[in-house]
Amino acid sequence: MNNKTSFWLVKQEPSKYSWETFLKDGGTYWDGVRNYQARNNLQLMTKGDRVFFYHSVTGKEIVGIAEVTREAYPDPTTDDSRWVVIDLKPIKSLVHPVSLEEIKIHKDLQENALVRQSRLSVMPITKKESQVILKLGKTSI
DNA sequence: GCCAACGTTGGC
DNA sequence: GCCAACGTTGGC
Protein backbone atom coordinates (compact mmCIF):
# COMPACT_ATOMS: atom_id res chain seq x y z
CA MET A 1 0.00 0.00 0.00
CA ASN A 2 1.27 3.48 -0.84
CA ASN A 3 -0.22 6.94 -0.86
CA LYS A 4 -1.85 6.34 -4.23
CA THR A 5 -3.87 3.46 -2.87
CA SER A 6 -7.58 4.16 -3.02
CA PHE A 7 -10.27 2.68 -0.85
CA TRP A 8 -13.63 1.32 -1.95
CA LEU A 9 -16.56 -0.57 -0.55
CA VAL A 10 -18.52 -3.34 -2.21
CA LYS A 11 -21.78 -4.84 -1.01
CA GLN A 12 -22.87 -8.39 -1.16
CA GLU A 13 -25.67 -10.33 0.40
CA PRO A 14 -24.04 -13.07 2.46
CA SER A 15 -26.72 -15.51 1.28
CA LYS A 16 -25.40 -14.98 -2.25
CA TYR A 17 -21.66 -14.72 -1.63
CA SER A 18 -20.40 -14.34 1.90
CA TRP A 19 -17.07 -13.13 3.21
CA GLU A 20 -16.51 -16.64 4.56
CA THR A 21 -16.95 -18.12 1.08
CA PHE A 22 -14.63 -15.46 -0.29
CA LEU A 23 -11.97 -16.42 2.28
CA LYS A 24 -12.39 -20.07 1.39
CA ASP A 25 -12.07 -19.30 -2.32
CA GLY A 26 -9.02 -17.15 -1.72
CA GLY A 27 -10.30 -14.63 -4.27
CA THR A 28 -12.88 -14.14 -6.97
CA TYR A 29 -13.94 -11.96 -9.85
CA TRP A 30 -16.54 -9.46 -8.80
CA ASP A 31 -19.44 -9.96 -11.19
CA GLY A 32 -23.09 -9.05 -11.27
CA VAL A 33 -22.73 -5.27 -11.20
CA ARG A 34 -25.54 -3.94 -13.42
CA ASN A 35 -25.61 -0.31 -12.49
CA TYR A 36 -23.69 2.37 -14.34
CA GLN A 37 -22.52 4.28 -11.32
CA ALA A 38 -21.25 1.12 -9.66
CA ARG A 39 -19.68 0.02 -12.95
CA ASN A 40 -17.90 3.34 -13.28
CA ASN A 41 -16.46 2.89 -9.81
CA LEU A 42 -15.23 -0.59 -10.73
CA GLN A 43 -13.44 0.89 -13.73
CA LEU A 44 -11.68 3.42 -11.53
CA MET A 45 -10.13 0.75 -9.33
CA THR A 46 -6.44 0.10 -9.76
CA LYS A 47 -4.36 -2.87 -8.77
CA GLY A 48 -3.48 -2.74 -5.10
CA ASP A 49 -6.51 -0.68 -4.06
CA ARG A 50 -8.21 -1.76 -0.85
CA VAL A 51 -11.85 -2.80 -0.85
CA PHE A 52 -14.07 -3.10 2.18
CA PHE A 53 -16.51 -6.01 2.01
CA TYR A 54 -19.98 -5.20 3.31
CA HIS A 55 -22.69 -7.72 4.09
CA SER A 56 -26.04 -6.25 3.06
CA VAL A 57 -29.54 -7.35 4.11
CA THR A 58 -28.31 -9.98 6.57
CA GLY A 59 -25.63 -8.72 8.91
CA LYS A 60 -25.45 -5.15 7.62
CA GLU A 61 -21.83 -4.78 8.58
CA ILE A 62 -18.41 -4.38 7.07
CA VAL A 63 -16.71 -7.70 7.67
CA GLY A 64 -13.38 -7.62 5.92
CA ILE A 65 -10.95 -5.99 3.58
CA ALA A 66 -9.75 -7.17 0.19
CA GLU A 67 -7.27 -6.10 -2.44
CA VAL A 68 -7.76 -5.47 -6.15
CA THR A 69 -5.58 -7.98 -8.00
CA ARG A 70 -6.80 -7.28 -11.53
CA GLU A 71 -8.29 -4.13 -12.98
CA ALA A 72 -11.58 -3.97 -14.88
CA TYR A 73 -12.10 -6.39 -17.75
CA PRO A 74 -15.24 -7.59 -19.59
CA ASP A 75 -17.70 -9.51 -17.43
CA PRO A 76 -17.25 -13.19 -18.43
CA THR A 77 -20.76 -14.01 -17.27
CA THR A 78 -22.49 -11.94 -19.95
CA ASP A 79 -22.20 -11.09 -23.65
CA ASP A 80 -23.23 -7.55 -22.89
CA SER A 81 -20.11 -5.47 -23.41
CA ARG A 82 -21.27 -2.72 -21.09
CA TRP A 83 -20.36 -4.62 -17.95
CA VAL A 84 -17.03 -5.33 -16.32
CA VAL A 85 -15.59 -7.25 -13.41
CA ILE A 86 -12.47 -6.90 -11.28
CA ASP A 87 -10.51 -9.52 -9.39
CA LEU A 88 -10.33 -9.39 -5.61
CA LYS A 89 -8.46 -11.38 -3.03
CA PRO A 90 -9.04 -11.26 0.73
CA ILE A 91 -6.51 -9.51 2.94
CA LYS A 92 -8.02 -9.92 6.37
CA SER A 93 -11.21 -10.03 8.36
CA LEU A 94 -12.01 -7.08 10.58
CA VAL A 95 -11.31 -7.94 14.21
CA HIS A 96 -14.61 -6.26 15.02
CA PRO A 97 -17.16 -6.05 12.17
CA VAL A 98 -18.37 -2.47 11.71
CA SER A 99 -22.15 -2.34 11.64
CA LEU A 100 -24.29 0.02 9.60
CA GLU A 101 -25.55 1.38 12.91
CA GLU A 102 -22.04 2.34 13.98
CA ILE A 103 -21.41 3.91 10.59
CA LYS A 104 -24.62 5.94 10.76
CA ILE A 105 -23.87 7.41 14.18
CA HIS A 106 -20.22 8.24 13.47
CA LYS A 107 -19.92 11.88 12.49
CA ASP A 108 -17.06 11.26 10.05
CA LEU A 109 -19.01 8.66 8.10
CA GLN A 110 -22.27 10.56 7.58
CA GLU A 111 -21.38 11.63 4.05
CA ASN A 112 -20.61 8.15 2.82
CA ALA A 113 -22.79 6.60 0.16
CA LEU A 114 -23.52 3.69 2.46
CA VAL A 115 -25.60 6.17 4.45
CA ARG A 116 -26.64 8.60 1.70
CA GLN A 117 -27.27 6.27 -1.20
CA SER A 118 -28.20 2.93 0.22
CA ARG A 119 -28.73 1.20 -3.10
CA LEU A 120 -25.31 1.79 -4.60
CA SER A 121 -23.31 -1.44 -4.53
CA VAL A 122 -19.80 -0.18 -5.34
CA MET A 123 -18.67 3.10 -3.83
CA PRO A 124 -15.53 5.08 -3.07
CA ILE A 125 -14.34 5.54 0.50
CA THR A 126 -12.15 8.50 1.38
CA LYS A 127 -8.82 8.00 3.09
CA LYS A 128 -10.19 9.54 6.24
CA GLU A 129 -13.29 7.34 6.21
CA SER A 130 -11.15 4.27 5.68
CA GLN A 131 -9.07 5.15 8.73
CA VAL A 132 -12.21 5.58 10.79
CA ILE A 133 -13.60 2.24 9.62
CA LEU A 134 -10.33 0.45 10.37
CA LYS A 135 -10.24 2.03 13.81
CA LEU A 136 -13.85 1.02 14.52
CA GLY A 137 -12.95 -2.43 13.25
CA LYS A 138 -9.95 -2.57 15.59
CA THR A 139 -7.90 -3.60 12.60
CA SER A 140 -4.75 -2.32 10.95
CA ILE A 141 -3.50 -3.17 7.49
C1' DG B 1 -37.62 14.31 -24.38
C1' DC B 2 -41.02 13.73 -20.74
C1' DC B 3 -43.03 11.00 -17.40
C1' DA B 4 -45.89 7.15 -15.64
C1' DA B 5 -45.41 2.45 -14.69
C1' DC B 6 -42.77 -0.99 -13.23
C1' DG B 7 -38.75 -3.63 -11.20
C1' DT B 8 -34.99 -4.00 -7.85
C1' DT B 9 -32.38 -3.09 -3.77
C1' DG B 10 -31.92 -2.98 0.87
C1' DG B 11 -33.21 -1.01 5.46
C1' DC B 12 -36.61 -1.53 8.82
C1' DG C 1 -43.40 -8.41 4.53
C1' DC C 2 -43.49 -3.54 3.69
C1' DC C 3 -42.00 0.40 1.50
C1' DA C 4 -38.75 4.28 0.19
C1' DA C 5 -35.40 5.32 -3.07
C1' DC C 6 -33.82 4.84 -7.32
C1' DG C 7 -33.06 3.01 -12.04
C1' DT C 8 -35.08 1.46 -16.36
C1' DT C 9 -38.53 1.01 -19.84
C1' DG C 10 -41.84 2.33 -23.07
C1' DG C 11 -45.82 5.11 -24.68
C1' DC C 12 -46.78 9.46 -26.26
Q: Which nucleotide across the nucleic acid strands is nearest to A58, CA versus C1'?
A: B10
pLDDT mean for each 10 residues of chain A (141 residues) = 88 94 96 93 96 95 97 90 94 97 94 91 95 96 85
Domain edges within chain A: 7-136
Q: How many helices (H) and strands (E) does chain A have?
A: 5, 6
Question: CATH assignment of A7-136, given 3.30.1180.20, 3.10.590.10, 3.40.50.300, 1.10.3720.10?
Answer: 3.10.590.10
Strand B contacted by A92 CB (< 7 A) = no
CA of A72 to C1' of B2 (A): 35
Please check whether residue A66 is in contact with residue A37, taking contact to mean a CB–CB distance below 8 angstroms. Answer: no
Question: Given this model, what pLDDT does residue A80 score?
Answer: 85
CA of A88 to C1' of C12 (A): 46
pTM of the model: 0.94
Per-residue pLDDT of A79-102, as tens digits, reads 888 899 999 999 999 999 999 999
CA of A15 to C1' of B11 (A): 16
Please check whether residue A9 is in contact with residue A55, taking contact to mean a CB–CB distance below 8 angstroms. Answer: no
Please check whether residue A7 is in contact with residue A125, taking contact to mean a CB–CB distance below 8 angstroms. Answer: yes
Per-residue pLDDT of A109-126, as tens digits, reads 999 999 989 899 999 999
In angstroms, how far is CA A73 from the centroid of its own chain? 17
